[in-house]
Amino acid sequence: MFGRICLLAGFAAIAACSPSKLAYGQVKSAMIDAGLSEANSACMATRMTDRLSLVQLKKLKQLKGEKRGLMDYVSAVRRVGDAEALQVTASSAAMCASGLAAEKK
């Protein structure tokens, strides 16, 4: 009985770590590498990993080109051609840069 409870608790812990949450560190690092600040990268990565699929996040991680700030990053995402990724990225950039995002507080 105790073994089953431990096994169920282990499965629950694994389920709580959704794949998008595991991608947070990679997304944040990619944004920092793209020239975004540490604070904006952390805030945006939190919002984006909550709202985008792993496939979408992988596309964004592969963005190439010169990106020196939030607007350059949003412009690069626009070229990916994924409307949802653009909407989430643009709204995350606006919310995080303005300080209105709960993730930034």
What is the spatial distance between Cα 78 and Cα 69, in angstroms, rounded to a whole number? 14
Predicted confidence at residue 14, as pLDDT, reads: 44
101: which DSSP letter?
Answer: S
Instruction: Quote the distance between the C-alpha of residue 1 and its chain's center.
Output: 39
* pTM assigned to the model: 0.76
Predicted confidence at residue 65, as pLDDT, reads: 66
pLDDT in tens, 50-71: 999 999 998 888 876 676 788 9
Mention every residue, 6+ apart, whose C-beta is less than 8 A from residue 60.
27, 30, 48, 52, 77, 80, 85, 89
More confident call, 7 vs 50: 50
Conformational region of residue 37, where left means phi above 0, alpha means psi within -120 to 50, and beta covers everything else: beta
Mean pLDDT of 63-85: 86
